[in-house]
Structure 1
Amino acid sequence: MKFFSTILTVSALAGVTFAGPQRGGFGRPPPPTTESKTDDHPATSSPTPGYSSSSPAYSTGHSSTTTTTTTTTTTTTTTTSKVVTTTTTAPLGTVTCLSTAAATNVVNGFASLLTAYSNATAESLLASDFTDTSDSINFLAGNPLGSTTFPSKLAFELGQGSQPAIGFQVLNIDAITCKVIAFRWEAILGSSSPVKGINILYTENPTQTDDGWQIQSVFSEFNSGTWTIEIGGTCVPPSQAGASR
């Protein structure tokens, strides 16, 4: 029994040896050939998936058509011109209060309007809102007392411009504040006594420069009785009027 087992073992090893590759260069035997079976139905050729049997033949390289689209972009540039108007204003100065020299120039300028009237002087010296108030003149002219004698620059130019020149002398400039001048004067109208009066000038300086001072308003009072006599009128003092009765 042991001998029979040994023979089986040797036979098994021999089978393994014969099945392996041989030293003489012979490879593993080819697989067995299967005999093709004959089908009773005739062979039917099926079209290759993805291609129709009636489709034209394709070459090895695929041909392609390239379409180039050219887009033309037109850019329109609009230029807008802007007109800028610049108004140049002269810079203001720093003069805000009257000096003695400036006050003297203003007073002398006003005196010249009585002695040698000039419309150019009136235009430059008198402010645009100029007024002149005098009950002495109102009495002589027959205007209501307390009313504004010359309510505008134009009214003064028309009224004073039509008057004859008179002798006028500034006696003294008695007071000068930041914008107000007080001075005394006398006028010679004929051969008799001079007429004395007091003027108060209110001024302004729009340009705030040394020569930019203008007269904004005038308050003037004087001896209207003597003025009346000097221009040919009659003025009897109350004391003389009582004695003559």
Structure 2
Amino acid sequence: MRLSILAVAAFAGLALALPSLGSLFTRVTPQDCEGDCLTRADAKQIVDIYQQLIANYTDAVCEKYCADDFVDISDSINTFIFQPLGGPTFASKQIFMDAQKNNPPFPVVIDSIDAVDCTAIGLRWHATFGAANKTAKGITILDTTKKAGWWQIKMIDVEFNSLIWLLDMGGNYTWAG
């Protein structure tokens, strides 16, 4: 893809004009763990819950395993739902729940859990579905907390190949290159 110097300058200017995500969202800290840190087994359980939230959503799972101060962030999704880039996609647990009830399940396959920190998990996944039946790949960072007595997802930060996802949803695009 060719980007003009003007386009690159515009993107750079936009990045400088936006507030940092750190000022918009509070990250989970080790103090949120009540002295505990995720084990690989805990991370696997949380990733399985994340997969269920996307591929086989139920309110009961979301109520139990999404923290009360839950937020979901994804510029990939924001482009589809006409939300501003850089902002929250689903700013609360209730907004996420309402959206998931209306979304079809997506066949998310977890490819790997690549990183486990005290409260954060990094993973890669793919989904193949719909009209184009092409494989969209994505990465997700899950921030967690154990304030309720068990591990919960506090923040989902997900990005994926949104052009392939668009084709899978029956959309199209024109490459201007």
The answer, yes or no, to whether TM exceeds 0.5 is yes
Higher alpha-carbon Rg: 1
Show the counterpart of 2:147. Answer: 206
The secondary structure found in structure 2 opposite 1:197 is strand
Q: Supply the RMSD in Å over aligned alpha carbons.
A: 1.6
SS in 2 for 1:159: helix
Deviations 1:102-125 (A, max 9, x none): 000000001011111110000011
* Structure 1 stretches of 4+ moved >3 Å: none
User: Which of 22, 36, 40 is 1:100 aligned to?
Assistant: 40
1:169 aligns with 2:109: yes
Residue of structure 1 equivalent to 2:137: 196
TM-score by length of 1: 0.56
Shift of 1:97: 0.2
Determine what percentage of the aligned residue pairs are the same residue.
Answer: 37
Contact kept, 8 Å, 2:34 with 2:147, in 1: the verdict is no
Paired position in structure 1 for 2:55: 115
**8 A contact 2:115–2:121 mirrored in 1:** yes
Which residue in the other structure is 2:91 paired with? 151
Letter paired with 1:231: M
Change (3 A) 1:207 1:228: closer
1:232 counterpart = 2:173: no
Which structure shows the higher helix fraction?
2
CA distance in 2, matches of 1:122, 1:200: 17
Does the aligned pair in 1 maintain the 2:128–2:135 contact within 8 Å?
A: yes
Structure 1 unmatched ranges of 5 or more:
1-92, 240-245
CA distance in 2, matches of 1:225, 1:94: 41
Structure-2 separation of matches of 1:171 and 1:198 = 10
* 1:135 alignment partner, one of 75, 84, 94: 75
1:67-78 equivalences in 2 (<5 Å): none
- Local SS of the residue matching 2:48: helix
More strand by share: 2
Distance apart, 1:192 and its partner CA = 2.4
Paired position in structure 1 for 2:160: 222
**Whole-angstrom CA distance in 2 between matches of 1:164 and 1:151:** 20
Q: What's the offset of the Cα at 1:228?
A: 0.8
> More relative contact order in 1 or in 2 (CA 8 Å, sep 6+)?
2
Q: Which moved more, 1:118-127 or 1:188-197?
A: 188-197
Cross-structure match for 1:17 = none
TM-score normalised by length of structure 2: 0.77
